[in-house]
């Protein structure tokens, strides 16, 4: 079972408009509502692949019930901690005329220490049943950089692998508990190491420095150049074939799903990286965030090139 953690779940609302004008009435051409938050964008592709997935975190009010309801078609089991306040919404406005995307992200509810203590108790029970835990994204108000640090420690103490995908202070403090895997981007790996990372060699050295501090797997996205992984098995680079990308939002989350699947299946790193890269590329071919078609993934998989660099 793959356990995903979304501490700041949301309803993602996508509005398509023709010519977005500030200060005027804008008619929405089409709209879509989906459960959102980075952890849920990991849950969906993992479930599509066929894994048993349990999603946890915080939800609240009618909006929280909606989030759970909309996970049912994906066969994702919800086991969230409920609060009274309403879960947030995140609005994405896509202007078809000017090809500009505008986002409005609500802050969401504020949690109390009692809320986090209640969730932690639930989480400890869920971890016992999990093969791998993936925790992703921001945290609600009321939590700080120690939140992921504490949750990672719970998973590590249970002897389970844990992936942490977050940013800023949450990442900086979270890695002090040595998660099994992190997936920083270039800016984040610069922040963590204080190095410039201006070329591939410097990026690899920075990733090695993090790995040597106790992070088993350090994966770094290189954009169009694929990604690299530094781990106990060595240093690998993945290069994906050229695809017709439709929506790259959430592709990093789809990659995390691939890593979680590969780790749960105890595959060698070359196979884990190939699977994660193929799922991520397949997700970019579809308009809906956190979604892919297995046929696309199966066609891409043998075309992903894995190069051993060290």
The β-bridge partners of 235 are 230
Outline where the chain has alpha helix (H): 38-49, 61-71, 113-129, 146-157, 168-174, 186-193, 200-211, 251-264, 269-284, 294-300
Question: Is 253 considered catalytic here?
Answer: yes
Paired sense of beta strands 305-308 and 234-239, if any: antiparallel
Give per-residue burial for 108-123: e unless 16+ CB within 10 Å, then b: bbebeeebbebbeeeb
**Whole-number CA gyration radius for the chain:** 19
Q: Is 239 exposed, middle or buried (0-12, 13-18, 19+ CB in 10 A)?
A: middle
Nearest-angstrom CA–CA distance, 28 and 20: 10
Contact 208, 219 (CB under 8 A): no
Nearest-angstrom CA–CA distance, 89 and 214: 36
DSSP letter (8 states) at residue 24? S
Nearest-angstrom CA–CA distance, 136 and 294: 23
Nearest-angstrom CA–CA distance, 307 and 273: 11
How many Cβ atoms from other residues are within 10 Å of residue 57's Cβ?
27
Could you say which of 12, 115, 253, 296 is catalytic? 253
Question: Hey, which residues are catalytic here?
Answer: 253
């Amino acid at each position: 079972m793959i356990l995903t953690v979304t501490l700041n779940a949301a309803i993602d609302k996508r509005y398509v408009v023709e010519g977005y004008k500030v200060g005027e009435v804008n008619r929405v051409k089409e709209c879509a509502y989906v459960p959102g938050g980075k952890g849920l964008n990991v849950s969906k592709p993992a479930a599509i692949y066929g894994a048993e997935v349990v999603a946890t975190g915080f939800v609240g009010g009618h909006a929280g019930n909606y989030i759970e309801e909309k996970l049912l078609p994906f066969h994702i089991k919800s086991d969230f901690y409920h609060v009274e306040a309403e879960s947030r919404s995140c609005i994405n406005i896509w202007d078809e005329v000017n090809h500009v995307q505008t986002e409005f992200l609500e802050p969401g509810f504020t949690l109390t220490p009692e809320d986090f203590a209640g969730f932690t108790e639930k989480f400890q029970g869920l971890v016992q049943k999990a093969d791998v835990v993936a925790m992703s994204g921001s945290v609600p108000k009321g939590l700080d950089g120690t939140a992921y640090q504490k949750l990672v420690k719970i998973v590590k103490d249970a002897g389970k692998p844990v992936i942490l995908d977050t940013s800023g202070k949450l990442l900086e403090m979270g890695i002090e508990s040595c998660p099994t895997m992190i997936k920083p981007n270039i800016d984040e790996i610069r922040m963590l190491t204080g190095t410039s990372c201006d070329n591939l060699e410097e990026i690899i050295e920075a990733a090695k420095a993090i790995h040597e501090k106790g992070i088993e797997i350090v994966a770094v996205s290189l954009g169009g150049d694929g990604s690299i992984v530094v781990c106990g098995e060595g240093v690998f680079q993945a290069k994906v074939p050229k695809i017709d990308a439709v929506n790259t939002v959430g592709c990093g989350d789809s990659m995390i799903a691939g890593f979680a699947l590969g780790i749960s299946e105890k595959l060698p790193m070359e196979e884990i990286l190939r699977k994660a890269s193929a799922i991520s590329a397949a997700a970019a071919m579809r308009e809906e965030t956190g979604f892919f078609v297995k046929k696309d993934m199966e066609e891409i998989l043998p075309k992903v090139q894995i190069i051993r660099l060290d």
